[in-house]
Amino acid sequence: MPNNPLSFRPERKSEVEKSHRTKPSTAHRVGHGLRSVYLDNAAATPLDAKVLKAMLPYFSSIAANPSSLHSAGQAANKAVTQARKSIAEIINGHADEIIFTSGGTESDNLAINGIISVIPISNSVIPAKAGIQNPMDPRIRKDDKRESLPHVVTTAIEHHAILELLTRLQKNGAIDLTVIKPQKNGVVKVDDIMSAVNDRTVLVSVMYANNEIGTIQPIGDIGRAILKYRAAKRGTLYEVRGTFPLFHSDACQAAGYLDLNVEKLHVDLLTLNGGKIYGPKGIGLLFVRRGVKLSPTVIGGGQERGLRSGTENVPGIVGMAKALELVQKNHEKESKRLAQFRDRLIKGLLRIPKSRLNGDPAERLPNNVNISFMDIEGEAAMLYLDAKGISCSTGSACASTSLDPSHVILALGMSYEAAHGSLRFSLGHDTIRSDIDYVIKVMPGIVEMLRKISPVTLDMSHF
């Protein structure tokens, strides 16, 4: 057996050279002759070589604290300032609207907790009825307690960083929550979102593209509808404080493939994550539109406009800016390339009996394939695929320690059995056609073997 683990893939160099990468990544290649196909890019992406090159000086030669006043500190500060400016230009925002965090989860938490914390129950948006100007007026307090709470609207297919936090806030009596189910294709209707909005609604949070099934939501349309709603409420009997409801979107999965122009999306808050765009892990950001007031969630030295204290992660910030620059520069070309592979994989896997595509076939990310196979356990299939050198997942990596079926698949109206048999394949920069063909080749045998030992045999009505 040859010592070079890439020797069994002579086609890789020529194919990768057609993409924006200058050479193939070996981050997911293993030895002993085992072919390795990494199709879990929705969970984490390998660091781009150009990103690493941009980061390296800030680990050693420019390693000072960017808050320090000496020249070394100011050199680091300059790098942070330039990264902030670069990201702002990419998303068509302003540099002072970029708040760096440790990742997507923290950004989501800052958006939600930051909004809810500045709107205590006693100051929630309430009808300014004639003669009742004080929100603590006894006549208001006699109403149902729920009617005095800030109201939040979200969807049933959001990331756990959104749903778990909102559910906890609801249980603690801090908010009134409405969770909107998507259509069976995984796309949320604008009318369903807006029908849930009322005069107490302070926040609407809808993810741009789903991390499990890849469906793309009509964020721009929702944003326009919210703007129209806010404009219509001004001057009525209801007091809409500031610009409520605010609109937040988690765009972590969308950043590598979709337009991030915040003026076209009409968002007030936008979450991004470096680890999903071939940048470093442990770095993210929250776009906070000018005029939006948030309460800080990390208290300390006052960095990041006082919203997220702590010494800035200079290498991570520089790396994220570079990564975002690269993926946005190449996203149209890369999306076209991956969409062809995505559709080829979907077609090949759906030849397996009793299989179903989860999510809309067209309104989905170009790198996402999520298939349910009846009568098997997705976890078992994933492990057998891993033994063949194929890395994929059964859903969100953030919930991989849970044995519960995917909440996203269940929200589509699917059965528990279908949700348990789902697999997510997420393609990336290093994906080539032979990777897709390899999965199509080995998957039928794995499904057949698992069905033979399965104690359950169900008909397609469970789909």
Which residues have a catalytic role annotated?
398
Compute the distance between CA of residue 56 and CA of residue 406 in angstroms, rounded to an integer: 39
pLDDT at 269 over 50: yes
* Collapsed DSSP state (helix, strand, coil) of residue 96: helix
Question: What is the tens place of the pLDDT at every residue in 332-364?
Answer: 999 999 999 999 999 999 999 999 999 999 999
pLDDT at 125 over 90: no
The tokens describing 388, both together, are 């063949």
Question: Are the C-beta atoms of 180 and 233 separated by less than 8 Å?
Answer: no
Spell out the domains of the chain, with CATH numbers in brackets: 12-47+331-462 (3.90.1150.10), 55-325 (3.40.640.10)
**Residue of higher predicted confidence among 202 and 460:** 202
Mean pLDDT of the region 387-402 = 74
DSSP-derived secondary structure letter, 133: -
The tokens describing 391, both together, are 């890395």
Helices then strands, counting H and E runs in the chain, come out as 14, 12
Report the share of the chain in percent with pLDDT over 70: 83
Residues whose CB falls within 8 Å of the CB of residue 382, separated by 6 or more in sequence, listed in order: 392, 393, 394, 423
pLDDT at 62 over 60: yes
pLDDT band of 403, cuts 50, 70, 90: low
pLDDT band of 402, cuts 50, 70, 90: low
Mean pLDDT of the region 156-161 = 97
The structure tokens 């209707």 sit at: 189
Mean pLDDT of the region 134-142 = 48
Question: Are the C-beta atoms of 249 and 219 separated by less than 8 Å?
Answer: yes
Q: What is the pLDDT of residue 121?
A: 53
The tokens describing 77, both together, are 């500060």
pLDDT at 312 over 90: yes
pLDDT at 130 over 50: no
Q: From residue 193, give the alpha-carbon distance in Å to each of 164, 397, 461.
A: 19, 27, 29
Q: What is the pLDDT of residue 161?
A: 97
Residues whose CB falls within 8 Å of the CB of residue 71, separated by 6 or more in sequence, listed in order: none
Q: From residue 303, give the alpha-carbon distance in Å to each of 102, 118, 314, 340, 399.
A: 13, 19, 13, 44, 31
Encode 324-356: b = buried (16+ Cβ within 10 Å), e = exposed.
Answer: bbbbbebbeebbebbbebbebbbebbeebebbb
Mean pLDDT of the region 322-328 = 98
Most confident listed range (13-17, 382-386, 394-398): 382-386
Report the share of the chain in percent with pLDDT over 90: 76
Q: Dmax over Cα atoms in the chain, in whole Å?
A: 86
Q: What are phi and psi of 364, to 5 degrees?
A: -145, 160
Q: What is the pLDDT of residue 146?
A: 67
Q: Burial of 162 by CB count in 10 Å (0-12 exposed, 13-18 middle, 19+ buried)?
A: buried
* Collapsed DSSP state (helix, strand, coil) of residue 450: helix
Read off the amino acid at residue 163.
L
pLDDT at 401 over 70: no
Mean pLDDT of the region 283-306 = 95
Question: Are the C-beta atoms of 366 and 336 separated by less than 8 Å?
Answer: yes
Count of alpha carbons within 13 angstroms of residue 96, beta-carbon side: 5
Query: What are the residues facing 298 on neighbouring strands?
Result: 308
Query: What is the rounded end-to-end Cα distance, in angstroms, of the chain?
Result: 45
Question: What is the tens place of the pLDDT at every residue in 224-250?
Answer: 999 999 988 775 434 444 479 999 999
Average pLDDT, the chain: 87
**Does pTM top 0.85 for this prediction?**
yes
Distance from CA of residue 410 to its chain's centroid?
Answer: 19
pLDDT at 396 over 50: no
pLDDT at 21 over 50: no
Q: What is the pLDDT of residue 397?
A: 47
Q: What is the pLDDT of residue 463?
A: 65
**Residue of higher predicted confidence among 145 and 461:** 461
Q: From residue 355, give the alpha-carbon distance in Å to each of 372, 431, 447.
A: 6, 23, 10
Least confident range from 144-153, 350-359, 395-404: namely: 395-404
Read off the amino acid at residue 7.
S
Q: What is the pLDDT of residue 257?
A: 98
DSSP-derived secondary structure letter, 41: T
Q: What are phi and psi of 405, to 5 degrees?
A: -65, 160
Q: What is the pLDDT of residue 8?
A: 34
Mean pLDDT of the region 220-226 = 97
pLDDT band of 404, cuts 50, 70, 90: confident
Compute the distance between CA of residue 181 and CA of residue 206 in angstroms, rounded to an integer: 11
pLDDT at 455 over 70: yes
Question: What is the tens place of the pLDDT at every residue in 31-44?
Answer: 456 789 999 999 99
Mean pLDDT of the region 297-313 = 93
